[in-house]
Each structure stands twice: as C-alpha cells, then as structure tokens.
Structure 1
C-alpha cells in the first residue's frame, strides 16, 4: 500500500480570495472564492465535503464527481467557486477540478498539468508521484516551471521553498501530495549501486598499451579504436532506434485507446450525457499519461492528439465557438450614453440607461434609435417593451411610456420583496419576486390594470437566486442556479435538462412566443445553452463576449449583447 505524505501552503486573502482546505488520510480538498465572497460558515462548509465523502462509499470516478457536485448544490455555494480535490481508493487516485482549480503531476522527470476547469480524471498511483492540487492564481504567481522546480519527495520542504512577495501573497493555496512504498524504500536503502563510464577502462588500457608498445603499433591501436568507437556508436544508435520505436508504438496505442473512448462517448451522448462526459475525461487522462511518459519528446504528436480531443469534444457536446459582430453604438446619440438592462418584444430592443435617465429603443430591422428621457428613469431597475409601450419598474412602482408621455400605472406594493424579473405577455404584466418565491400578474383592464394576483396555482417557488429571471411564451420559465422550471397555466410543467457540464450558473433564461428554443445564459462560463421547449439539451454557443455582457436578449435566434455602450449580435442558429 503506498503511503501519502502531504503538506499545505495557504495564505487567506480575505478581502481578495477566500481559501479553505480539508484533508483526511485519503481525501484532499481545497476551495477558493474570488473577490472576498464568503463561503458562509467556512469551517462547516469544508467539513460537509469531508462528511459527504466519508459517509458515502466511493467506488469509481463518476461517484466521486457526483458527490462533490451534489455537495456544491446542497450548500448553494457561489458561482465563483474554484475547487481541486483528490480521493485515494486502494491504488487509484480520483481527481476533480471546478472553476479555476488545477492539478499537476510530477512522475519521475516528467511534469504536466493533468486536469483543470470543469474536468475529472482517475489513474493508478506510482511510486514517487507528486501531485499538486491548487488554483490558477497560485500557478500564475509561481508559473508551471516554478512549481516543477520546487517539487521533491519531502512535501514540507516544498512549502518552505515557496517564496512569494507579501504584497502579492493573498488568497493563495496549494496541496502537495507525494507517494512512496515503505517496503520498496527499505529495500532500496540497503543496496548501493555504482556506475562507471564504460569508456574509462578502455582509455586507461589504451594508454597502457601505448606506453609498452611505443609508436610501432600505433596504426593497429588506432584501427582498434576506430572499430571500438563504431561499435559503441552502433549500440547508441540501436538503443535510440529501439527507444523511438517504443515511443511511436506507445503513441499509436494511446491514439487507439483515445479513439475508442471518444467513439464510445459519441455513441452514449444522446442517451447518457454524464457517462459520455466521463469517457471524455478518460480520453484526456490517456493523453496526460502519455505526456508524462514521453516528456517533451514528440511534442507535435501530443499537441496533435490534444487538438483532436478538443475537436471531438466540441462535436460530441455540440459546442461551437463564435465571435459576435457590432450591431449598434449607443454613442451615436450621446457620447456619454451607456446601458444597464435590456428588454425586447422581438422586433425592438429597449436599453435602460439610468446614468443619463434615458431609455433607448433600437429597431432591429432598421437599426434606428428612438430615445425617451424622464427623470424617473434614473431610479429604474428593470425595463420591458411591448409594441409601442415601454415599461420600467422603480422604487415608486411601475411606469409606462407611450409616445412621449409617461404614467405611473401600478403603485409600489408593500408586499413586494426583491423584484428581479419584469415581462409583458398579451399586454399583461408579470413580476418575479425572487426573495418571496412568487410570480405576480397584473391583467390589463379597461381602466388600466387589475390588482395583483398570484400566477402560481400550487406552492410558491423555492431555490430562487436573488437575480433569477422570467421569460414567457404562453408558458412561464424561471431560472434557478443550475436548472430551469416551467409553468403552464400556473401549474408546474415537465422541463428537465441534462447539461453537458457540471456546476453551471444560469444568469438568465430567455425565450418568447416567436422563439422556437429556450436559451440559458451562463455569464460565468461565457456560454449560451440552447434547449428544446421541453428542456432537452441541443447544443451550446461559447463566446468571451457572453462573459463580458451586462445583459442579453434573443430575437429570431440571434442574441443581442449589451457591453457598456454598444450592442453586439451573436448568431445562435
């Protein structure tokens, strides 16, 4: 049984990055939240992870990953959470990373980053393996080469070698775990090996012969020397050829295994997405092992395999990387123009600019702008548009702008909690109260609007985020942190999604009566998930712009992204 020696390097940033850790003899965990976000009761949080692993028997990688993912959900941890964890079962090490988590492995003279981000892997432990569980901020500070240089069998010595300036040493953490086998160590420690240069004996013999024979046999001696050098050179070349052949054979075997894993992943993706993800992780692990065995040799072959896995993963998980185009610049009207929130009725985009007390209405087809300016807009928080009417909600209630006239149509209700969603459907107004788990409906009437009624026929919603959103296409859709709930006629309807990644954080749910799909925007990952109206995962579009956007709406399968004072379009079809 291999013994694990471990040491932790930790510096809690508090105001910047909050870091925590937990470990037993066979379970190691580090957590980090950015920008000082609290984990709540930090010690209870990490203890909960430990209890979850200890009380539930882990028999494979999928179970280990599921336990960690479920614990994150149960504890409702923040979206900016990063995690790196490892669990030892017999001779196998199960590994998992989340967010900016990273895991490195030094095996012999070889060193590589084996997983990062939303990945998992498992493999057999070998003697003198050294694992580093950390967060990207730590590897950025030391560099990967810097981490490699400090690693040795004594993990306490590793920590002592870390020298980071105090002004930069905030919120950094790393777990160092090394393995050895006691029986192996006790055996090797009693045996002494010596190595002699095979040429040294020959050179001394040659000098002795020369001294005895003089110069008369010098030609013979030179001939013998040449033959000996050729012999040695042949041996070296033969060894190199055998080594090259073995490496090439290993590459081909690994390529074949990776192909099998990817093929199985593709076959199972439709019916069992989670199993498909595990097979993808196993394919990445095969490549990581190959990288460790070959080191820097055959770099091009390894990069070729890495690229192949990424392409196949994108195809299997139906991922597509896209770049948006600039659609409209709000500064054409006012150099100081900016945007806070978006609303749409399909053909128009309403842009809320609280700073300048404006709402801009941009025609999608004409790319023209119409501006509405009222002092009350400065305190607005949400905006919606329906035909020629613009709606916004402020601390005083709900206002409607028609042409150049603004009226307060609904007074602020003392029973309102945090209103995080405003939408219009069939001229009726719907509000999402995320703090109370309610949906309020104000029906249009001859004299204005009715008093509020509850849209939900059953119990109130639970598990809402403070910024949960609402979308309507005749049914009502509400996003939770990692799922979407659907209601038809106020009653919970079937809507189940198996997303291709874990730890998603849905920022907004988007659809409409003219949209054929439901869209789930994850700002943290920079992803737009495209779903069927029953929740079936279809594909996803990735873009860095989706991480920068302040708000997003969709019209005719095109996303419109608000980034500062510009609107960008991103095709989703």
Structure 2
C-alpha cells in the first residue's frame, strides 16, 4: 500500500426499519444504508455489507469498471436506500454510487462535491486530502453546504466530533452513516504522471478547477528577452562609466567590469537556452500526456452505460489534451499518433452522446390510404390506439399494432382544432365546444359547451378521464373533471398563486404530473404547483415550437424538435439519454411513443414514420 490514511466513522441510531454502516480497510470503502423489507433492516444490512466486503476485496479490475460490476449486481436489491463504493489503487481514488449518498473532497481551503447519487469520479489523491462519504440519510440531516462548513474545522477529530454531535441531537437519525478519510501520506510511484494528471476528475469540473485545476501541466515561462546587442549596450552603460576618478582606479574597475560582463554573458546564455529547452516538450512529457489521455479514455469507456454524462465530460477533457499537443506536434510519427487518438476519442464521444443519425426512416402508415390528399396536423395516443387530426378537420383513428385505420369524423365538427383520446372515447375541440365521440359506434355529443372565458385554446389532453386545456392567451390550464353525469364546470388546474407565462407553450403531456413544452424549456407541474425539472447533460439548444410526449406507461420524456429534425429523450429527472435525427423529422407536427413496442411514431404531412428506440 503506497498511501497512509486516518479515518473516522459516524453512524446514527439503528432500528429494525433503517440501518446504516460504513467499512474501510486496505483502501476499500463502503457506505451503506438499508431499509426493512421481508427481514429487518439490520439483518439485511449486515448480510449485504458482508457480501459487499467480499466483492470489493476481490474486485477486478480495480477501477470504475470493477465498481460498476458490483453496483450492477446490487441494482435490483430493494433493501438498499443508498450505496457508495470507493477504492484507492495506485494513488487513484475511484468512487461510484447507487441511489443516493454524496462524496465531498476537501483540498487545501476548498471543498467540492465530487459525486452524488449515481455519479462517479476518479483521479489522483494528494497528501492532506480529506474525503467525506455520506449516506442519503446523513446528507438529509447534514446537507452538502453544512457538510462543507463542518469540513473547514482544523482536524479530522474536530470534524467527526462536530458531525457526530449534529447526528446525535437529531431525531430519526436511523440509517445515517458517514466515513471521513484523511490522506496523511503518499509514497509516489509515478512522479511523471502524477505531475500531469488532474488531481480529481469529476462531473463539476468548473467548480473543481478552483481546488486543483483540470490539468496540473508544468508551465513554460516566456521571458521578455531583447537582442544580445541591446543587453550588452545596457550592461556597458552600467559598468563602464565615462568619468574616472583616476587611472589606477579605472584599471581596477575595468578588470572587475570585464569579469562581471563575462559572468552576465554566461548567465544570459544559460537562461536563453534554458527557456528554449522548457518551451520544447520532452519525449517523457509527450508520453506522460498520452498516458493521461489513455487513463481518461478508459475511464470514459467504463462509464458509458453507468454515467454517459460523466463519460462525455471526461472524453471532452481528453480531446482538449490532444488538441493542445497537436499545436506542438503536427507532423511526423507523433502527429500521426495524435490524429489517430483524436479520431478515436471523437468516435467514442458520438457513442457516449447516443446521438443517432438516421437515414430513410420506415413509413408506418400513409394517410392517403384513408383519404387521398390527407395531411396530418396532430396525433394523440391512448395505450395502443391513436387518433389523428387532419389539417382539413377530418378525424382518423389508427391501431398502432394492427394498422387498422378509419375516418371517424368529417365536416360535422366545425373548425376542429385540437383532439385527445381516453379509453374508447375521442374528444374534439371545435367551434361549438368539445365533442365527445364513441370510437366504436361513432355516436357523438357535446361534452363541454364553448366557454366565453376561453382565450386561445391550443392543446387538449386527457388523463384519468379528465380533460385539460392549455389557454395560451389566459395563461392557464383549464381542467374539466369527469363524473357519472358528464364533466364539471371549468376550473383552473394551476394553484391561484401560480401564474406562468403560457404564451409560448406548444406541447403538453400528462403522466400524473403535467408537462408543458415552451420556448424556455420544459415546465413540470404536480398537483397544480411547479415541480423541479431541468435538462441535464444536454449540449445543444432545443428549438421552440416543438412537441412533448410522455404518459404513465413511459419511463422517459420525448421532445420533438421539428426545426432541427430531432427527437430528444430524457429520463423524468431531466437527464439526457439520447437523440434521434433524420431529414424526415424536419417539419414534423406530432409524435407519440409506445415503449413496450420500442417505437417512436412521428407524424409529418401524410405519413407516420417510426424510429426504433435503442
């Protein structure tokens, strides 16, 4: 073992419902929080911890890929509330988590979160580093900012005592666990690489740069050198005065001056060539940087499935290193090596981004089969039954498995502008209000009369049998609740103190929460109140005027950017998953998704195209 650590453990109360514990030995660290299922949390926790200790002690390879193998095995254990695994191998700290927990690094006078939840991180440790691993419950009792404040104490003993006091005084501390690791000494095994590598590579690189920087590359200083003639002239002006006190003194001064001049010349020459030498990287420098690039490439490869956002960040760092080297090595063997590396990294970046460029999308259905000249405007879905609004106002139904289509309404509904579907009922917004149509018998009736309070109703959706209408002009979402006798009077879905700008909203989806797509991004509301949602890991801007789809059968949120010709896929926490781009998607007006079939359906003019979900 080439490092020395001092550790301190903190744990809250233990009961049958919640249990938390930590483990540290030989550079292996485990922070586990469990809950009761069939057995007590304590029994389950001890059993799981014992298995984890065996696995982490024998894990191969000893890096993020190895930790991922263990986490994959633990992924489906419902007893685990949070789990963080970490190892130190050859001066490199590897961290990976599951479900919750947090890892904070203190280096010097800076404290930075290097991993939280299911994020991972890796990088070289330094003497004096303090690393705080905490379970999800511990982070709830002492949030991240409070943890950072407590880490500013002078010693690990003071830190642990203060944190333990907070946990002890807190009611319901069961499940809280934390481990403080202080790197007290390191015996260097690779000086060259250690000088070149980022101290800790982590997702928030901008924040971390304040602690150690992204790359601790030796600097080459450029001195403001003048020509030798200019320097000699200045030296002579200083050393050889034109006024002499006497000849003997002058001879003595001349001798001393000549000696001084020679020494200055020697100094100048050594500085000049020393600077030139520093400005030209050595073979060892080049090899060390390539070793760093290889390290980042391997880390990114191991993170491709576990944390694609982190993988893209690491690959971007590696590409930056190669581009810097290319400024110095453009030709020769080194230049070719760098070109090969750049192509390799960019290919891997494409894989990490999961940005699929598609050609010749399959046509699922052509509306001309139902009506010559058919032009779709909007498509909605209930389970595996779709309803389509034609630009002419005609309404179609279409089975998304059997492809059975038919016209269900024509000119009888005046100025049809929006549709939705629930169960065997279709709903059409027209001049007279909302018409309800039985998709089997085609019988129809006015379900909601036109309301003078409406402004500009642009979108209508149904969930749980209730109807929701986006009113762009009034800045409201109107809700009509379904009852045995019909629909209730209009009411606002949004709470009275909630008044977002809905004028740019172009899409709506409902899965229990209500999702609105606007030019500013995606707005999420739950029970009439704003719910936190933002894009994470998205490297491009989504155009305004698109469509959004999700439902209670979908795990993801899908956004159609018809201007860019792309469909973006996010999980419901906002984390970017993938993107599908094709020429056929440009100008599309609608999309629905059936995840069971692994299909995205895109409506554009007369055709419905399909994209296979990868």
TM-score scaled by length of structure 1: 0.50
Unmatched 5+ stretches in structure 1 = 1-119, 124-180, 191-245
Distance in 2 (alpha carbons) for counterparts of 1:251 and 1:464: 55
Could you tell me which of 420, 434, 442 is aligned with 2:458? 420
Could you tell me which of 299, 305, 329 is aligned with 2:366? 329
Distance in 2 (alpha carbons) for counterparts of 1:297 and 1:376: 76
- Deviation at 1:271? 11
Where does residue 318 of structure 2 map in the other structure? Answer: 283
Query: Structure 1 residue 354 and structure 2 residue 391: aligned?
Result: yes
Where does residue 429 of structure 1 map in the other structure? Answer: 467
Aligned ranges 1:167-316 → 2 under 5 Å: 255-262=290-297, 279-289=314-324, 304-316=340-352
Where does residue 424 of structure 2 map in the other structure? Answer: 388
Could you tell me which of 406, 422, 426 is aligned with 1:370? 406
Where does residue 156 of structure 1 map in the other structure? Answer: none
Query: Structure 1 residue 549 and structure 2 residue 585: aligned?
Result: no
CA separation of 1:515/1:272 partners in 2, compared to 1, >3 Å: closer, same or farther?
closer
- Deviation at 1:431? 0.8
- Deviation at 1:521? 3.2
Secondary structure at the counterpart of residue 376 of structure 2:
coil
CA-atom RMSD, angstroms? Answer: 4.2
- Deviation at 1:254? 6.3
Larger radius of gyration: 2
Q: Deviations over 1:133-180 (max 9, x none)?
A: xxxxxxxxxxxxxxxxxxxxxxxxxxxxxxxxxxxxxxxxxxxxxxxx
Secondary structure at the counterpart of residue 568 of structure 1:
strand
Distance in 1 (alpha carbons) for counterparts of 2:283 and 2:412: 71
Q: Deviations over 1:167-197 (max 9, x none)?
A: xxxxxxxxxxxxxx9x89x979x9xxxxxxx
Distance in 1 (alpha carbons) for counterparts of 2:519 and 2:527: 23
How many equivalent pairs are there?
340
Secondary structure at the counterpart of residue 337 of structure 1:
coil
Asked if the contact 1:527–1:541 (Cα under 8 Å) also holds between the matched residues in 2, the reply is yes
Secondary structure at the counterpart of residue 503 of structure 1:
coil
Where does residue 439 of structure 1 map in the other structure? Answer: 477
Relative contact order (alpha carbons < 8 A, sep ≥ 6): 1 or 2 greater?
1
Distance in 1 (alpha carbons) for counterparts of 2:577 and 2:506: 22
Distance in 2 (alpha carbons) for counterparts of 1:296 and 1:416: 69
Where does residue 491 of structure 2 map in the other structure? Answer: 453
Distance in 2 (alpha carbons) for counterparts of 1:459 and 1:266: 47
- Deviation at 1:424? 1.0
CA separation of 1:255/1:514 partners in 2, compared to 1, >3 Å: closer, same or farther?
same
Asked if the contact 1:464–1:481 (Cα under 8 Å) also holds between the matched residues in 2, the reply is no
- Deviation at 1:258? 3.7
Distance in 1 (alpha carbons) for counterparts of 2:499 and 2:389: 28
Distance in 1 (alpha carbons) for counterparts of 2:282 and 2:480: 71
Secondary structure at the counterpart of residue 375 of structure 1:
coil
Distance in 2 (alpha carbons) for counterparts of 1:525 and 1:297: 40
Distance in 1 (alpha carbons) for counterparts of 2:282 and 2:587: 44
Asked if the contact 1:431–1:440 (Cα under 8 Å) also holds between the matched residues in 2, the reply is yes
Asked if the contact 1:440–1:452 (Cα under 8 Å) also holds between the matched residues in 2, the reply is yes
Q: Deviations over 1:317-375 (max 9, x none)?
A: 454455542211111223311211111112112121123x3212110111111112422
Query: Structure 1 residue 503 and structure 2 residue 541: aligned?
Result: yes
Secondary structure at the counterpart of residue 326 of structure 1:
strand
Could you tell me which of 416, 429, 435 is aligned with 1:399? 435
- Deviation at 1:498? 1.5
CA separation of 1:367/1:429 partners in 2, compared to 1, >3 Å: closer, same or farther?
same
Could you tell me which of 579, 598, 602 is aligned with 1:561? 602
Query: Structure 1 residue 515 and structure 2 residue 554: aligned?
Result: yes
Q: Deviations over 1:228-255 (max 9, x none)?
A: xxxxxxxxxxxxxxxxxx9999986665
- Deviation at 1:442? 0.9
Asked if the contact 2:563–2:587 (Cα under 8 Å) also holds between the matched residues in 1, the reply is no
Unmatched 5+ stretches in structure 2 = 1-205, 207-213, 215-221, 231-280
Q: Deviations over 1:258-294 (max 9, x none)?
A: 4344456678999998876555444334444455556
Q: Deviations over 1:94-150 (max 9, x none)?
A: xxxxxxxxxxxxxxxxxxxxxxxxxx9xx9xxxxxxxxxxxxxxxxxxxxxxxxxxx
Q: Deviations over 1:67-103 (max 9, x none)?
A: xxxxxxxxxxxxxxxxxxxxxxxxxxxxxxxxxxxxx
Asked if the contact 1:465–1:481 (Cα under 8 Å) also holds between the matched residues in 2, the reply is no
- Deviation at 1:494? 4.4
Could you tell me which of 520, 523, 537 is aligned with 1:485? 523
Distance in 1 (alpha carbons) for counterparts of 2:479 and 2:426: 17
Asked if the contact 2:505–2:518 (Cα under 8 Å) also holds between the matched residues in 1, the reply is no
Question: Which consecutive segments of 4 or more residues in structure 1 shift more than 6 A?
Answer: 246-254, 266-276, 296-300
Asked if the contact 2:538–2:576 (Cα under 8 Å) also holds between the matched residues in 1, the reply is no
Q: Which is worse superposed, 444-453 or 300-309?
A: 300-309
Distance in 2 (alpha carbons) for counterparts of 1:429 and 1:479: 18
Distance in 1 (alpha carbons) for counterparts of 2:336 and 2:458: 51
TM-score scaled by length of structure 2: 0.47
Distance in 1 (alpha carbons) for counterparts of 2:379 and 2:607: 12
Q: Deviations over 1:4-62 (max 9, x none)?
A: xxxxxxxxxxxxxxxxxxxxxxxxxxxxxxxxxxxxxxxxxxxxxxxxxxxxxxxxxxx
Distance in 2 (alpha carbons) for counterparts of 1:487 and 1:537: 18
- Deviation at 1:503? 3.0
Aligned ranges 1:34-113 → 2 under 5 Å: none
